[in-house]
């Protein structure tokens, strides 16, 4: 494009290169929107999408059978009444933390590097929460009565019991889902407008047009828009911290040894962010390769995310150590036994694998070499995801399997249906995610524009 002599493109010294040099407003816009507006879908999109759809079918089958027969098809039993279902719930919810965290907290902290990852991170959040939300419903003995969780005037004159953490969950998770969705959509509006204006096909234009709600980038709108984003960020920040706190209450409120612990809330939140960033990396690394987005999602982004993982990982590690210490220090025989049982009981292998995944292996992240090595990072992220799943499994199953009255001790083992339901939600997750990257800009175009050096107004405002 023809350069205006009045404002030459100059990179001010010291400005971080979050975007590879050489990009212009036009080029980033075209690059990102072309992923959506391109005529033919690339093969590397179809293959994973089909696999995900297959898993989704597995999920539907598992759920159908669950509804027909009852939760007995799972491995749950007295005393382990919660098995994989709740484990998966907590795991997914945890993953669902990264998105909002990136877009909200990093926004407040003015971390401009977030601009090129927040969009798909938020989408990831939404889909993770969607998967998570399934489990509390599916694990009910009579799922068709789920609406009794909500207060509404009814002919029985009976309402929910607000002392139960499960009710807190209902409110926390639904609020979180709603707010994340709003945040995500508000963020999308300007880009939807871009797509509307770039789309050739008239249906596409109409659709994006409706969704864009007539956004035209007016300065007065931009000003309110930025206020709104800040407000949403401000609201989402305490929310994102509260969600996993509330989820941890499911355990801390109970008197089960191994559950009843005050360290859980912070430790759960840290763990959530830990796994959340791991999932973002798991998605980002292949994406940037497939769509050649290395110049938008740079090594620096990956490095930063790895650092966040490392930090949260250390918090989690600290919690593990202190959990054990307090169990010993409390002198409560049941607590001591619960911890000892984790380490040496029938489920000990799970516990030690968890320690390796979450505590030992990630220490490699201290080395920049590892942090900046795509392969290592990817493996590391998968490892953390596994570790965080194991953590919930250990907390739930191992604690329940041996609690107060020894005569009632019993050991849980998953059935094929537990596995199918879990794998199924992974399918659902990627199914939704691939639909998203095909139909929506996976990187926030307008926010990336602001990262370009040209975005600076170079002449003083005062005359």
Position among 329, 367, 410, 439 found at the interface with another protein (CB under 8 A): 410
Q: Which is nearer to another protein, 9 or 285 (CB)?
A: 9
- Rounded to a whole number of angstroms, the minimum distance from the CB of residue 236 to another protein is 8
Number of residues that bind another protein (CB under 8 A): 136
- Rounded to a whole number of angstroms, the minimum distance from the CB of residue 326 to another protein is 18
Interactions with another protein, residue window 114-143 (CB under 8 A): 139-143
Interactions with another protein, residue window 144-163 (CB under 8 A): 144-146, 148-149, 151-163
- Rounded to a whole number of angstroms, the minimum distance from the CB of residue 276 to another protein is 19
Q: Please name which of 100, 42, 93, 106 lies closest in space to residue 437, comparing C-alpha atoms.
A: 42
Q: What count of other Cβ atoms lies within 10 Å of the Cβ of residue 316?
A: 26
Residues in the chain: 463
**Segment lying near another protein (by CB under 8 A), choices 74-82, 316-324, 369-377, 383-391:** 74-82
Helices (H), 253-263: none
Q: Please name which of 14, 24, 29, 18 lies closest in space to residue 296, comparing C-alpha atoms.
A: 18
- Rounded to a whole number of angstroms, the minimum distance from the CB of residue 32 to another protein is 11
Contacts of 352 (CB under 8 A, 6+ apart): 343
Position among 400, 428, 442, 443 found at the interface with another protein (CB under 8 A): 400
- Rounded to a whole number of angstroms, the minimum distance from the CB of residue 321 to another protein is 25
Position among 19, 55, 76, 104 found at the interface with another protein (CB under 8 A): 76
- Rounded to a whole number of angstroms, the minimum distance from the CB of residue 285 to another protein is 27
CA distance 37 to 24: 19
What are the two backbone dihedrals, phi and then psi, of residue 259, each rounded to the nearest 5 degrees?
-105, -40
Do 232 and 186 meet the contact criterion of CB atoms below 8 Å apart? yes
Q: Which is nearer to another protein, 319 or 401 (CB)?
A: 401
Do 229 and 180 meet the contact criterion of CB atoms below 8 Å apart? no
CA distance 108 to 124: 20
CA distance 54 to 52: 5
Q: Please provide the DSSP assignment of 78-126 as one string.
A: SS----HHHHHHHHHHHHTHHHHIIIIIHHHTT-GGGGGTHHHHHHHHH
Q: Please name which of 15, 11, 19, 17 lies closest in space to residue 297, comparing C-alpha atoms.
A: 19
- Rounded to a whole number of angstroms, the minimum distance from the CB of residue 270 to another protein is 20
- Rounded to a whole number of angstroms, the minimum distance from the CB of residue 405 to another protein is 6
Q: Which is nearer to another protein, 231 or 289 (CB)?
A: 231
Written as six digits, the tokens of 95 are 């993953």
- Rounded to a whole number of angstroms, the minimum distance from the CB of residue 371 to another protein is 31
Contacts of 271 (CB under 8 A, 6+ apart): 94, 244, 312, 316, 319, 358, 388, 391
Contacts with another protein, 301-330, as mask; x by CB under 8 A: ------------------------------
Contacts with another protein, 217-256, as mask; x by CB under 8 A: xxxxxxxxxxxx--xx--xx-xx--x---x--xx--xxxx
Q: Please provide the DSSP assignment of 154-173 as one string.
A: -TT-----TTSHHHHHHHHH
Interactions with another protein, residue window 415-434 (CB under 8 A): 415-417
Position among 277, 337, 422, 436 found at the interface with another protein (CB under 8 A): 337
Q: What count of other Cβ atoms lies within 10 Å of the Cβ of residue 15?
A: 10
Position among 39, 110, 200, 216 found at the interface with another protein (CB under 8 A): 216
Site for another protein contains 364 (CB under 8 A): no
Q: Please name which of 257, 293, 239, 236 lies closest in space to residue 445, comparing C-alpha atoms.
A: 293
Q: Which is nearer to another protein, 178 or 439 (CB)?
A: 178
Position among 11, 57, 109, 213 found at the interface with another protein (CB under 8 A): 213
Interactions with another protein, residue window 174-203 (CB under 8 A): 175, 178-179, 182-183, 185-186, 190, 193-194, 196-198, 202
Interactions with another protein, residue window 80-109 (CB under 8 A): 81-82
CA distance 24 to 456: 13
Interactions with another protein, residue window 370-399 (CB under 8 A): none
- Rounded to a whole number of angstroms, the minimum distance from the CB of residue 331 to another protein is 12
- Rounded to a whole number of angstroms, the minimum distance from the CB of residue 353 to another protein is 13
Q: Please name which of 26, 229, 276 lies closest in space to residue 110, comparing C-alpha atoms.
A: 229
Site for another protein contains 21 (CB under 8 A): no
């Amino acid at each position: 494009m023809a350069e205006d002599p009045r404002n030459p493109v100059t990179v001010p010294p010291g400005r971080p290169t979050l975007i590879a040099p050489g990009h212009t407003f036009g080029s980033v816009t075209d690059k990102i929107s072309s992923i959506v507006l391109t005529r033919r879908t690339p093969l590397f999109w179809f293959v994973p999408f089909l696999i995900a759809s297959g898993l989704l079918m597995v999920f539907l089958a598992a759920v159908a059978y669950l509804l027909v027969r009852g939760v007995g098809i799972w491995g749950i039993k007295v005393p382990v009444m919660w098995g994989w279902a709740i484990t998966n719930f907590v795991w997914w919810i945890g993953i669902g933390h990264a998105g909002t965290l990136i877009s909200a907290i990093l926004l407040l902290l003015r971390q401009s590097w977030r601009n090129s990852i927040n969009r798909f991170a938020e989408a990831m959040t939404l889909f993770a929460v969607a998967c998570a939300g399934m489990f509390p419903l599916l694990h009910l003995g009579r799922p068709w009565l789920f609406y009794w969780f909500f207060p509404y005037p009814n002919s029985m004159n009976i309402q929910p019991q607000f002392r139960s953490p499960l009710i807190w969950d209902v409110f926390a998770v639904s609020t979180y889902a709603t707010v994340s969705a709003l945040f995500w959509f508000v963020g999308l509006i300007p880009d939807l407008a871009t797509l509307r204006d770039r789309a050739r096909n008239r249906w596409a234009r109409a659709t994006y047009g409706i969704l864009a709600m007539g956004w035209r980038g007016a300065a007065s709108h931009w000003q309110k828009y930025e206020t709104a984003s800040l407000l949403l960020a401000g609201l989402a920040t305490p929310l994102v911290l509260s969600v996993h706190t509330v989820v941890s209450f499911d355990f801390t409120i109970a008197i089960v040894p191994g559950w009843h612990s005050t360290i859980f809330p912070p430790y759960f939140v840290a763990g959530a962010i830990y796994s959340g960033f791991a999932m973002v990396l798991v998605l980002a690394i292949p994406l940037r390769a497939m769509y050649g987005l290395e110049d938008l999602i740079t090594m620096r982004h990956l490095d930063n995310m790895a650092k966040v993982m490392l930090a949260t990982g250390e918090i989690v590690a600290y919690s593990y150590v202190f959990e054990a210490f307090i169990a010993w220090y409390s002198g409560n025989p049941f607590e001591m036994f619960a911890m000892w049982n984790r380490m040496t009981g029938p489920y000990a292998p799970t516990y030690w694998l968890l320690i390796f995944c979450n505590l030992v292996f990630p220490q490699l992240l201290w080395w920049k070499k590892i942090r900046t090595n795509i392969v290592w990072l990817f493996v590391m992220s998968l490892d953390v995801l596994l570790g965080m799943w194991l953590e919930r499994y250990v907390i739930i199953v191992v604690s329940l399997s041996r609690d107060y009255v020894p005569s009632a001790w019993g050991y849980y083992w998953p059935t094929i249906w537990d596995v199918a339901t879990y794998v199924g939600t992974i399918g659902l997750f990627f199914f939704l995610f691939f639909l998203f990257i095909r139909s929506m800009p996976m990187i926030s175009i307008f926010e990336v524009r602001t990262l370009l050096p040209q975005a600076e107004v170079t002449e003083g405002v005062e005359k």
